[in-house]
């Protein structure tokens, strides 16, 4: 009974959702990482896998808005496919995903 009430509480509070990120702006890139507020901006926490001409990564995110970027061969890049971009306070932009 305790397990089922914990599961019900998790549903009420909102659970993580899987989100697929894809980077295809430079198919010749050697290393691409997904970086964001959900990784504490650690540039090597989430390496992306190459699939054909793009790099992909599926992550579990809490509901809400999350800022992120790609770290591509040592260079920060926004997601050209992101509908929302916001200033990041250090002179460039971050991409935003809503979950």
pTM of the entire structure?
Answer: 0.82
To the question of domain 12-98 being in CATH 2.60.40.10, the answer is yes
Maximum C-alpha span of the chain:
53
| 55-85: burial string, b at 16+ Cβ within 10 Å, e else | bbbebebeeeebbbbbbbeeeebbbeebeee
Strands 75-77 and 46-47 come out as unpaired
What does the alpha-carbon distance between residue 69 and residue 81 come to, in Å, rounded to a whole number?
11
pLDDT along the chain (99 residues), means of 10: 35 71 94 97 97 96 97 97 95 96
Q: Give bridge partners of residue 23 from the DSSP assignment.
A: 55
């Amino acid at each position: 009974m305790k397990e089922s009430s914990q599961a019900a509480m998790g549903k009420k509070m909102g659970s993580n959702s899987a989100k697929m990120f894809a980077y295809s702006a430079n198919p010749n890139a050697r290393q691409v990482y997904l970086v964001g507020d959900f990784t504490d901006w650690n540039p090597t926490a989430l390496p992306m896998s190459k699939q054909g001409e793009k790099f992909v990564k599926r992550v579990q995110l809490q509901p809400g808005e999350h800022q992120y970027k790609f770290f591509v061969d040592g260079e920060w890049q926004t997601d050209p496919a992101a509908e929302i971009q916001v200033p990041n306070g250090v002179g460039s932009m971050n991409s935003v995903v809503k979950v």
